[in-house]
Each structure stands twice: as C-alpha cells, then as structure tokens.
Amino acid sequence: MTEGTADPGTESPIAGKPRLKEYDGEGITVTFEPRRCLHAAECVHGLPEVFDLSRRPWVLPDAAAPGRVAEVIRRCPSGALQYHPAAGGAAEAPDAPTTVRRGPSGQLVVRGDLSVTGRDGVRHETRAVLCGCGASGNQPYCDHSGPCAEPDDDVAEERQGVPGHPREVSRNPPRGGR
C-alpha cells in the first residue's frame, strides 16, 4: 500500500485480542484478520463489488445486500472474514455437524461450533484453517509458512494480492496503514 491509499478500515490492536480490521456498514459490519487470510478466491470472486483488492478500503459492506455479504463471508474457509449484522440480523450459525478436512500438506480445514485456543485465549469460531505442520507463526492457525506454501497446494496460487497477507508483504515493500 502506498502512502495516501491507506486502508481506512479501523484496526483494533487491543492487548489479548486478535488484530482485526473493521468495516462498518449500515446493515452489517465486516471484520478482517489479515494474518489468517490464505487465498484470494471466495470473497473477491463471490462479491467483487464489496471485496475489491484494487480499492481502498478494499471492503465496502454496503455495496450489496447484507444477506449477500454474509453469505459470501461464510464461504471464507480461514475465518479471516467475519460479520456482525445490525440489530435484528441473525448471527452466523455454525455448521452442524462439525467437519474437519485435512489438506494435502497437513492443513486442517474445520467448520462448526469451535473453541480454538491460541495466543488470544479461547475464541469461539465457526470456520478456521489450522496448522498441521508446526511451522506457522500464527499458531494454531495456518499462515502458509510450511509445506502448504508449495505451488501444488490447493489454494496457494489464489492467495496473491490479499491485503496484509504475509506472502504479499514479502513480495512487496513494507507498507503501512493495514
């Protein structure tokens, strides 16, 4: 990100809490946790008018109906994207039964009613991709530091250019404002 195009999403670096960016809309608030984002597919392809990597802010929650925004966010496998509906809206219901799928390089893709213990304590989750190799710097979540970063990984080629993703940062000069 270059100066002058800083993403105005509000970041919440509260001690003991995950670092999130928050995008407030009229009908829905979207949060984004950059370190958990693993690929650029479901959000940007599912609702490009809301999720657009070439724009700052890259998330415009009011650019589609809240129900559509929520539906596309539920497709985000990593849980990097979450939503909070305005008063009266239904919160995300966890999948039942809970499912666990092991990726080719060890990642664990889980969906359901989850309690995930990590550096920020116990978090209630509905979607997560957990590290299965031990290399992630964002345990217990996968961050593509391990063998899952290989080109034959099923999502590797799709994660370029995602705001704040460690891979993007490593390819480009460090940039502030994210």
Binding test (CB under 6 A) with ligand FES, winner from 6, 19, 116, 145: 145
3 vs 144 by CB, closer to ligand SF4: 144
Q: Does 78 bind ligand FES (CB under 6 A)?
A: no
16 vs 99 by CB, closer to ligand SF4: 99
> Binding partner of residue 72 among ligand FES, ligand SF4, none, CB under 5 to 8 Å per kind?
none
Binding site for ligand SF4 (CB under 6 A): 37-43, 76, 78, 80-81, 162
Q: Does 146 bind ligand FES (CB under 6 A)?
A: yes
**Three-class SS of residue 45?**
helix
> Binding partner of residue 136 among ligand FES, ligand SF4, none, CB under 5 to 8 Å per kind?
ligand FES
Q: Report how far residue 146's alpha carbon sits from residue 35's, in angstroms, rounded to the nearest whole number.
A: 15
Least Cβ distance, residue 35 to ligand SF4 (angstroms): 11
**Three-class SS of residue 63?**
helix
CB atoms within 10 A of CB 83: 22
> Binding partner of residue 148 among ligand SF4, ligand FES, none, CB under 5 to 8 Å per kind?
ligand FES
Q: Report how far residue 6's alpha carbon sits from residue 57's, in angstroms, rounded to the nearest whole number.
A: 8
> Binding partner of residue 132 among ligand SF4, ligand FES, none, CB under 5 to 8 Å per kind?
ligand FES
Residue of 37, 72, 42 whose CA lies nearest to 168: 37
Q: Does 72 bind ligand FES (CB under 6 A)?
A: no
Residue of 99, 107, 42 whose CA lies nearest to 69: 42
Print the SS3 string covering 112-157. EEEEEEECCEEEEEEEEEECCCCCCCCCCECCCCCHHHCCCCCCHH
| Residues belonging to the chain | 178
The residues that touch ligand FES, with contacts defined as CB under 6 A, are 106-107, 131-133, 135-136, 142-146, 148
